[in-house]
Structure 1
Amino acid sequence: MQKRFYSLDVFRGATVAFMILVNNPGSWSNLYAPLEHAPWHGCTPTDLVFPFFLFAVGNALAFVMPRLQEAGTAAFLKKAITRSLLIFLIGFFLNWSPFIRWENDHLTFKAWEYAGANGNLIGIRILGVLQRIALSYFFASLIIYFFKLRGAFVSAVVLLLGYWVLCLLLGNAADPFSMNGYFGVSVDKTILGESHMYHGEGVAFDPEGITSTLTSIVQVIFGYFVGLYIQQKGKNYDMLSHLFIAGCLLIFTGYAWDMVFPINKKIWTSSYVLYTTGLAILVLSICIFLIEFKEAKGAWSRFFDVFGKNALFIFFLSGFLPRIIALFRWVDHVDNGKKVYTSAFPWFYEHICKPISSNLKNGSLLYALCMIAFYWLIVYFMDKKKIYIKV
């Protein structure tokens, strides 16, 4: 097997760093536009993070697949099932963690389902980011292993076109690509139950739902294709120029498809897959050019590299740690006779970051940057100690 390109690790690490940035603002109400998700159709820089990570998963798969194929079908299935199940369960654990919550002034167990303040039933969300990574990796690896390269390409085309057809045939004819018209919502409600879905949109709607996972599988397959091509072609300008052209073609195709099948992260449309994969290829091409060809390595590449070496772990920690810290709270002030509680991270934002500017977006951004620095110190220390947590 050829030596792995360092630029791939930097690309993955930069994706994780940006993921931490957009997931940890000081205030969700005070964000600069590029750090917000598109309200529905469209794509912001923040909407690139997740597909870039799935693309990187596919890149990595291209380097380990030959070893899995040599080991045989039984060993491959054991590896694919075990890894996918672990990632899925870690994501589910993260959703349920820390298993206890504050209710008024006492801690209670966070039940599988419980009545909310308005009387509506609240439950533990089943799906999520890590769960989608697990499912996308699992099915993409099966397709690649059993159907080989040509079969994987055909499968990708079938999934992208088939998903478009399903949206048109099973969705609301008036607007099949709206939140209310999207056919996947009823599928999720039937299988998962409304109380176990995401409610961040104000209604039961899961952006990592069952049906939209069909196209996220393709994101991993495309990442595999690119990783395999880089291995086979090696370090030369033909490889780089072909990647650049492929990225531009996918972006153009995604934009063209957007006219009839809108680019949309929340239902992971086929046009969104092509568009974001094209951008991922262009960004990766720039990384390869700078690092492998111009050898422009340095502090910037090492900064991102350590994130990439413990990518899943630090993503999990960035979601888990704030929940644990939030349990250790104290009274910050009293408002109209009512105690207002705080904990370490919210206190840091309110008293250190927020006061720096009258523009609250600056304080929110500063907090997010501080969180990147905080988690970077953790992965930097782990790298120094050669501690790598793999799943």
Structure 2
Amino acid sequence: MTGSTDRFADDPAFAVHEGGKLSVQTKGAITSIADLALTYTPGVARVSSAIAAEPELARRYTWAPRVVAVVSDGTAVLGLGDIGPAAALPVMEGKACLFREFGGLDSVPVVLSTTDPDEVVAAVRAIAPSFGGINLEDISAPRCFEIEARLKEALQIPVMHDDQHGTAIVVLAALRNAATVTGRTLGDLRVVVSGAGAAGVACTKILLEAGIGEIAVADSQGLLHAGREGLTGTKQWLVEHTNPTGRTGSMADALSGADVYLGLSGGSVPEEAIAAMAPGCIVFSLANPTPEVDPQMAAKYAAVVATGRSDLPNQINNVLAFPGVFRGAIDAGATAITEGMKLAAATAIAGVVGEDLTPECIVPSPLDRRVAEAVAAAVADAARAEGVVRG
């Protein structure tokens, strides 16, 4: 075994992950019999009996309300694909680290050895009493839509599939600021979305909610439009709510004269398609690690370029959203995460940039500690305003 692990000795990533990245620590020391009796039996029996009689007391006398479950089946891990639950666990541990570091929330990674939606939903429902929120992660489309919808209906705690909504929140924040810095509003923009998976669908929905001017979505077969056959229920919804002028053809065809390219699908986009976009266009090329549009090439034509990479300006990083979203929802005692709460989160992220707004700075740094605080406050206020909080 030693020989098999020595080959990783020079890679610092393996050193960080060795033995896992998480631990559980007690809040109080146990140094006496009295401490033991209060922490465990017999003292704990009094607390458990009180909760059994009044279940709402669990919100005060257990850690559950402030702990998030990070749940995955490992079928759509960013940049890696369907790698299974064991290989996905380091990613979920990393997500838990970010919850603690940026949101001040404890979280527990939970990977499931099933890809059946019924079994995933049943498993999460079964463990839900131990948690105050459910962060679904790296679950492939279209199953992720069904799983999230069913869990949101079944549970009275915040549930969010971050690959959908975390991405959408940050994209909206970035696009608001990109529009501003180029002298436009969201309502002025014609957007072409490349990708009808989890992120593409969620980004499209939040942009529609925010009042985007016009938006069309393309999958691997071209633009979604009325008359296309063999569409899933989700893609049919997109047909009914996007592409109002009935454009057909390829994604590259649709980019002619477009204001915004939003890439969420991988692959590559030819230079001539970007060159054909409107003057002062905006290119969000978010495939990771290799953007669909080469950033240097895009900069020849676009006023603003964003990617998913940390080594380039304008990184669209979900860490700007999810810690604050869950923190705000939990602080408010929210029973769900609503569209209004997501819109509030996006506005808060965009606002943190403030006077620093430039074409190379349309979103805050992922390390900016002001972001989670601003997002949490905005989300909590939105939850209270919408009345989705416990009395």
Q: Is the TM-score greater than 0.5?
A: no
TM-score scaled to structure 2, two decimals? Answer: 0.28
TM-score scaled to structure 1, two decimals? Answer: 0.28
Higher RCO (Cα < 8 Å, 6 or more apart): 1
Higher helix share: 1
